[in-house]
Amino acid sequence: MDAQQPLSSLVPDPAEIVGLVEKLVEGRWPRSEFNRKTLFMKLGLTSGASWDDDTSNSVTGRYSLGIGKPGEIMASWTSHRGGFVGIAVHLYSSMSTDNPATRQGFEDFHRQLTALYGEPETPWHDPVLPACVWHENGRRIVIRFFNLQHSSMMVSVEDAGLASAAEAEVRRRNTPAHWNNSAQGASPFLLPRMRG
C-alpha cells in the first residue's frame, strides 16, 4: 500500500475526526462563551440553530454543529448553565442493520483512540450497542455503535466534570417529586411526634 493512500474509504476518513478529537482533548477547555467561539473558529467548527424548544426551561442547550468535513455527518454541541459541555458527531449512518461500513468506522475509531489513550472502559457491556470510554486531560471521549433498526456510530468529547453535572441535574429533575419531599412510599399521615 502506498504511504499516501488513505487506510479507509470511509467519508470522512476516521483519522480526520480523530485529529479533531485530539485537538479537543489537548490544551485548556473553554470556560467562557468567547473562548468557545475562539476554539470553534480555530477548529473550523460552525455553531448552528438550537435543537431545543423555545418553551423548554432546561438549563442544558443543544445546538447543531458544522464540522467542515465531507460526508453525511450529523453533529451537535451542548452547553450547561452557559458552560461548553462538548460535541457529539454521528457518522457512517445507514438504514440497514449491522452495516459493514458503520462497523468499520467504529472499529477504526476504537483502534486509533486506543493507540492514543490506551484501553477504554466498556461501561455498558452491551454487544448490540457497544460503547467505549476514555478519560484524558479532564475530558471524556465516548464512541458508540448503534445497531438496532439502523446503523450509526457516534463519537463525543466532553468536559467530564460539566457533563457529569448536567447528567446529575437531568436525573434530579426527572425524579418524581412527592407532596412533602418525603421519601417515596412514606405516608403523609405519619407526622413527627411533638416533644414537650
pLDDT in 10s for each residue of the chain, 196 residues: 344 444 458 999 999 999 999 999 998 999 999 999 999 999 999 999 887 765 555 788 899 999 999 988 999 999 999 899 999 999 999 998 889 999 999 999 999 999 999 999 988 777 767 899 999 999 999 999 988 788 999 999 999 999 988 888 877 777 665 555 555 544 444 444 545 5
What's the confidence (pLDDT) of residue 119?
96
| Residue 111 placed within a domain | yes
Q: What global pTM score does this model have? A: 0.81
**Residue 164 belongs to domain spanning:** 14-50+58-170
Residue 194 belongs to some domain of the structure:
no
User: Could you give the CA distance from residue 22 to residue 79 in angstroms, rounded to a whole number?
Assistant: 20
Report which residue type is found at 126. D
In a domain, 1, yes or no: no
Residue 157 backbone phi and psi in degrees, to 5: -130, 125
Is residue 8 in some structural domain?
A: no
Gap between the Cα atoms of 103 and 150, Å rounded:
12
Q: Considering all CA atoms of the chain, what is the largest pairwise distance in Å, rounded to the nearest integer? A: 89
Residue 164 lies in a domain: yes
Identify which of 64, 51, 146 has the alpha carbon closest to the alpha carbon of residue 106.
146
∠ CA 106-13-113, rounded to 5°: 45
In one-letter notation, the amino acid at residue 167 is: E
Taking a C-beta distance cutoff of 8 angstroms, is the pair 130, 117 a contact?
Answer: no
Grouping H, G, I as helix, E, B as strand and the rest as coil, residue 100 is: helix
Q: Does residue 45 sit within a domain?
A: yes
- Number of domains present in the structure of the chain: 1
Cell numbers representing residue 135 in the block = 478519560
pLDDT of residue 167: 83
Residue 129 lies in a domain: yes
Check residue 178 and give its pLDDT: 52
Query: Do the domain assignments include residue 21?
Result: yes
